[in-house]
């Protein structure tokens, strides 16, 4: 999704803007631009394509200034061209960058055209800059103009605004899209993600909904949605810079796959010291789990798959009913909410527009609590929920979610165990599962050792156009996650089915050109899965199996088997995800795709 960076200082800020944009590249974008103010003039440079192209153009033009805004655009209204790239200008002096969508832009545009404004782009953003121009022409100063225009804009957005006539301030607005203010020494910044600013500061203010910030070199003033000047807490960034560097790895995705043992260790830290530790999982609020009679899970994409696994666990281990729904569907329909329902949102970023909207719309009195399972402590989702269970995966930069998923699963398993305990499940059973969970980092390491074998296997997939993924029980969502990974980074069409559904339709697709991947841990559904696999084999399908020795499946049966470590039942969804991540990674690399920033996708989907 779009990224914003802005800076005001005594020195040239162009480098800060470009570096910030590069650090936001992971969000996904298709054009980039910047505007800086120097000696009373506004200089703008924009390019379709990558930030590297913008950087070259800015170097060639020797673009310099002590105040500036910059943007990576993920096209929504209008093609990814230079003329649609931000910043957008009105006249020669005023520039705006914008994340999000202005829903009423069409009527505003018509009015502005009638008022004599000429539009040079197809974007919804351009209405904002002309509206500001109109307010300035009517005698307002920049801050007044922004405060006057904001109520006219419907939708979710974040803005950065500069004017060559007011070189001592940068105005920022948060209304539905995230924006942080970074605090430096004699200079200050804005960005849509704190990661963009880590080279220059570790001190941040997270703007809240409706905040307008006036950012100056020597200070920041924030006005809240009611027009009142407010003080917001300053947060110190608590990660390390290395987390957001690729290090020795070719791609962030590969680095993040291999970070999983350490990430899982962090997720479990202090939470698995026997069943008593479950009593504190949600702090003082953990007691509320005793009253929970139903759980509604809401999420998107990979996080939705994590929710689907949790549903199996919750009904099986805690005996609590559970529904899981994608947020974009949930938010637009009426629901019957059973009494004493716990609402659980799952999100890596905590900024996914649909998940946030679903949370905000879940107002029934039958919800007894709203819990965010999230990787980002400072996110909107965490701030707007009464309870949070942090997954502690560390920054995830690759668009394809990897360590975020496995840590979500580990955190959700803890939540299920805490719920089971609150519902009177025997401590002995819970203690056994917690003891098993201690093995998670080492089992993950064992699964990662299959990397070489999976690299070899990947060659069989490179020329294929379609792939089928099969699983049963908790492995069905794992198969869905495997299919999502393959399609999003290798662009090979992939579908997942519960293996028992094969003969109800998809079996018709199976032939030698359709590889079938099955995740087959040695669980109670294994025998049934084996029958499904025979159905594939009998139709000439190429079968690739991830299974342990005890499953007694071998290449001799006409399958290609990759032998997994023996894994306790409840950990299998976490460990069996690893080879599927590696498979999609290697296939994508062999196909030469942009692994960390696949086409058309964004890391954090902050628009509907
Ligand atoms: C998965 O690889 C994708 N990045 C995507 O499906 C993602 O999981 C989805 O957009 C939800 O994001 P969130 O977890 O940040 O809410």
- Ligand 1 site-directed mutation target among 309, 605, 606, 608, most atoms within 8 Å of CB: 605
pLDDT band, very low/low/confident/very high, at 311 (cuts 50, 70, 90):
very high
Q: What is the pLDDT of residues 411-427, one digit of tens each?
A: 999 999 999 999 999 99
CA distance linking residue 528 with residue 513, whole number of Å: 25
Contact between 63 and 43 under an 8 Å Cβ cutoff? The reply is yes
CA distance linking residue 367 with residue 464, whole number of Å: 46
Q: Is 160 helix (H, G, I), strand (E, B) or coil?
A: strand
Supply the DSSP string of 110-133, one letter for each residue.
Answer: HHHHHTT----SS-STHHHHHHHH
Kindly tell me if the per-residue pLDDT of 434 is higher than 60.
yes
Tell me, rounded to whole angstroms, the distance of Cα 523 from its chain centroid: 32
Write down the pLDDT at residue 575.
Answer: 97
Write down the pLDDT at residue 108.
Answer: 96
- Could you tell me what percent of the chain has a pLDDT over 70? 99
503 counts as catalytic: no
2 counts as catalytic: yes
Write down the pLDDT at residue 556.
Answer: 67
For residue 348 and ligand 1, the question of a CB distance below 6 A is answered with yes
Write down the pLDDT at residue 241.
Answer: 58
Write down the pLDDT at residue 462.
Answer: 95
Contact between 551 and 557 under an 8 Å Cβ cutoff? The reply is no
For residue 352 and ligand 1, the question of a CB distance below 6 A is answered with yes
Between 572-591 and 451-458, two packed helices, what is the crossing angle to 10 degrees? 50
Q: What is the pTM of this model?
A: 0.79
Write down the pLDDT at residue 362.
Answer: 93
Kindly tell me if the per-residue pLDDT of 455 is higher than 90.
yes
The set of residues, in sequence order, having a beta carbon less than 8 Å from that of 592 and lying 6+ positions away, is none
For residue 399 and ligand 1, the question of a CB distance below 6 A is answered with yes
CA distance linking residue 531 with residue 537, whole number of Å: 10
Write down the pLDDT at residue 242.
Answer: 57
Strand partners, 86: none
Q: What is the CA radius of gyration of the chain?
A: 25
- Laid out side by side, the sheet with 321-326 consists of 321-326, 294-299, 341-347, 367-374, 387-390
Contact between 101 and 76 under an 8 Å Cβ cutoff? The reply is yes
pLDDT band, very low/low/confident/very high, at 243 (cuts 50, 70, 90):
low
Contact between 29 and 48 under an 8 Å Cβ cutoff? The reply is no
Calculate the average pLDDT of the chain: 92
Q: What is the pLDDT of residues 326-347, one digit of tens each?
A: 999 999 898 899 999 999 999 9
Q: Is 366 helix (H, G, I), strand (E, B) or coil?
A: coil
The set of residues, in sequence order, having a beta carbon less than 8 Å from that of 358 and lying 6+ positions away, is 298, 327, 330, 331, 345
Q: Is 462 helix (H, G, I), strand (E, B) or coil?
A: coil
CA distance linking residue 179 with residue 172, whole number of Å: 8
- In angstroms, the first-to-last Cα distance of the chain is 11
Q: Which whole-number Å values give the CA distances from 309 to 3, 322, 413, 471, 573, in the listed order?
A: 32, 11, 9, 12, 8
Which letter does DSSP use for residue 202 in this model?
Answer: S
- Ligand 1 site-directed mutation target among 253, 303, 482, most atoms within 8 Å of CB: 303
In a 13 Å sphere around the CA of 125, the CA atoms on its Cβ side amount to: 30
Write down the pLDDT at residue 28.
Answer: 78
Parallel, antiparallel or unpaired: strands 367-374 and 387-390: parallel
217 — phi, psi (to 5°)? -65, -35
Q: What is the pLDDT of residues 38-58, one digit of tens each?
A: 999 999 999 999 999 999 999
- Could you tell me what percent of the chain has a pLDDT over 90? 78
How far is the centre of ligand 1, averaged over its atoms, from the C-alpha of 415 (Å)?
21
Report the nearest-CA residue for atom 9 of ligand 1. Answer: 301
Contact between 471 and 483 under an 8 Å Cβ cutoff? The reply is no
Residue, of 313 and 554, whose pLDDT is higher: 313
CA distance linking residue 305 with residue 322, whole number of Å: 14
Kindly tell me if the per-residue pLDDT of 292 is higher than 70.
yes
Range with the lowest mean pLDDT among 209-223, 486-500, 530-544?
Answer: 530-544
For residue 400 and ligand 1, the question of a CB distance below 6 A is answered with yes
Q: What is the pLDDT of residues 318-328, one digit of tens each?
A: 999 999 999 99
Contact between 222 and 567 under an 8 Å Cβ cutoff? The reply is no
How far is the centre of ligand 1, averaged over its atoms, from the C-alpha of 353 (Å)?
11
Kindly tell me if the per-residue pLDDT of 377 is higher than 90.
no
Rama region for 556: left / alpha / beta (φ>0; ψ in -120 to 50; rest): alpha
Cβ-in-10-Å burial (0-12, 13-18, 19+) of 535 comes to middle
Write down the pLDDT at residue 505.
Answer: 87
Contact between 472 and 498 under an 8 Å Cβ cutoff? The reply is yes
What are the E-state strand segments in 129-187?
A: 155-163, 170-175, 180-183
Write down the pLDDT at residue 231.
Answer: 95
């Amino acid at each position: 999704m779009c990224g914003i960076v802005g800076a005001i200082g005594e020195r040239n800020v162009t480098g800060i803007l470009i570096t910030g944009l590069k650090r936001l590249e992971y969000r996904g974008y298709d054009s980039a631009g910047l505007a800086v103010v120097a000696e009373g003039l506004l200089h703008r440079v924009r390019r379709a394509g990558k930030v590297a192209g913008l950087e070259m153009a800015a170097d060639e033009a020797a673009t310099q200034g002590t105040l500036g805004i910059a943007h990576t655009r993920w096209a929504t209204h209008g093609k990814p061209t230079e003329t649609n790239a931000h910043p957008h200008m009105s006249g020669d002096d005023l520039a705006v960058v914008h994340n999000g969508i202005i829903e009423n832009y069409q009527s505003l545009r018509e009015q502005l055209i009638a008022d004599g404004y000429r539009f040079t782009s197809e974007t919804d953003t351009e209405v904002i800059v002309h509206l500001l121009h109109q307010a300035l022409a009517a005698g307002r100063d920049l801050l007044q103009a922004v405060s006057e225009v904001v109520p006219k804009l419907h939708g979710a957005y974040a803005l950065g605004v500069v004017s060559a006539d007011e070189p001592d301030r940068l105005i920022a607005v948060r209304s539905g899209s995230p924006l942080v203010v970074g605090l430096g020494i004699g200079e200050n910044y804005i960005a849509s993600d704190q990661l963009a600013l880590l080279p220059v500061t570790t001190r941040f203010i997270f703007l809240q909904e409706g905040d307008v910030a006036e950012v100056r070199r020597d200070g920041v003033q924030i006005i809240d949605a009611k027009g009142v000047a407010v003080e917001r807490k300053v947060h110190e960034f608590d990660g390390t810079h290395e987390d957001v560097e690729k290090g020795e790895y070719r791609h962030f995705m590969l680095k993040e796959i291999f970070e999983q043992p350490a990430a899982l260790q962090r997720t479990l830290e202090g939470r698995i010291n026997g069943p008593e530790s479950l009593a504190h999982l949600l702090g003082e609020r953990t007691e509320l789990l005793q009253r929970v009679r139903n759980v509604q899970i809401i999420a998107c994409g990979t996080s939705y798959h994590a929710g689907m696994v949790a549903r199996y666990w919750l009904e099986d281990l805690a005996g609590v009913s559970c529904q899981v729904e994608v947020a974009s569907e949930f938010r637009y329909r009426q629901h019957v909410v059973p009494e004493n329902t716990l609402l659980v949102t799952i999100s890596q970023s905590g900024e996914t527009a649909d998940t946030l909207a679903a949370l905000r719309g879940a107002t029934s009195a039958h919800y007894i609590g709203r819990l965010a399972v999230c990787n980002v402590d400072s996110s909107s989702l965490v701030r707007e929920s009464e309870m949070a269970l942090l997954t502690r995966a560390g920054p995830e930069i690759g668009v394809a979610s990897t360590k975020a998923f496995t840590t979500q699963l580990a955190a959700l398993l803890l939540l299920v165990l805490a719920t089971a305990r609150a519902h009177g499940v025997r401590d002995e059973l819970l203690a056994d599962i917690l003891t098993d969970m201690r093995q998670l980092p080492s089992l993950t390491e064992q699964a990662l050792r299959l990397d070489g074998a999976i690299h070899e296997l990947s060659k069989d997939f490179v020329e294929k156009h379609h792939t089928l993924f099969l699983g049963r029980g908790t492995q069905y969502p794992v198969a869905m996650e495997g299919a999502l990974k393959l399609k999003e980074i290798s662009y090979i069409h992939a579908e997942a089915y519960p293996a028992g559904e094969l003969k109800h339709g998809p079996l018709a697709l199976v032939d030698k050109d359709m590889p079938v991947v099955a995740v087959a841990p040695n669980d109670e559904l294994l025998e049934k899965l084996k029958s499904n696999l025979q159905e594939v084999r009998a139709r000439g399908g190429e079968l690739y199996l991830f299974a342990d020795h005890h499953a007694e499946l071998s290449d001799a049966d006409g399958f290609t088997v990759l032998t997994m470590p023996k894994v306790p039942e409840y950990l299998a969804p976490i460990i069996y995800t690893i080879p599927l991540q590696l498979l999609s990674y290697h296939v994508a690399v062999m196909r030469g795709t942009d692994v960390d920033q696949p086409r058309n996708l964004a890391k954090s989907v902050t628009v509907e």
